[in-house]
Amino acid sequence: QEVALQDVYKAVNMCHKVGIPITGVVENESYFVCDGCDKRHEIFGAGGGEKVAAFAEAPLLGHVPLDPSIREWSDAGTPVVQAAPQSVVAAAFREVAERMADRCSVVNARRAPQLTIDRKGGTNRHLPIAR
């Protein structure tokens, strides 16, 4: 996992250098749920997503499990939440989607244009400028 994290840190640094905002972090292949015992096994270690989120100064949006079905459904063009809506995998994707939607609402509210009215006449429109 440490080698993979190094690549992620490089990507985060690049985003920071060129001014691309990081809306959130999703830890992919975070754990594996055993069919036999239904327990979560963190086969690549734990805490990687939290480390990246702290480094990126962005919220951790969720953990997506390692599941071969994700590849199969994706290759077939079928969304995970449609293929197995009651599965652990679908629940993880829904959680990430909900948190991402909440996060986008917050980010967009901060960037929303503001309209101010000059009582002396006219209007001034202030639009945020991307940096």
Six token digits for residue 129: 């400028």
CATH of residue 13's domain is: 3.40.50.300
Residue span of the structural domain in which 31 resides? 2-126
CA quadruple 88, 89, 93, 96: dihedral, nearest 10: 60
Q: Token match 């679908």: residue?
A: 90
Q: Is 131 domain-assigned?
A: no
Q: Is 96 domain-assigned?
A: yes
Contacts of 52 (CB under 8 A, 6+ apart): 5, 8, 9, 12, 25, 27, 60
Split the chain (131 residues) into runs of 10 and give each run's mean pLDDT: 85 95 93 85 89 95 94 93 93 95 83 66 58 50
pLDDT attached to residue 122? 57
pLDDT attached to residue 34? 85
pLDDT attached to residue 116? 66
φ and ψ at 112, to 5 degrees? Answer: -60, 140
Total structural domains within the chain = 1
pTM of the model: 0.75
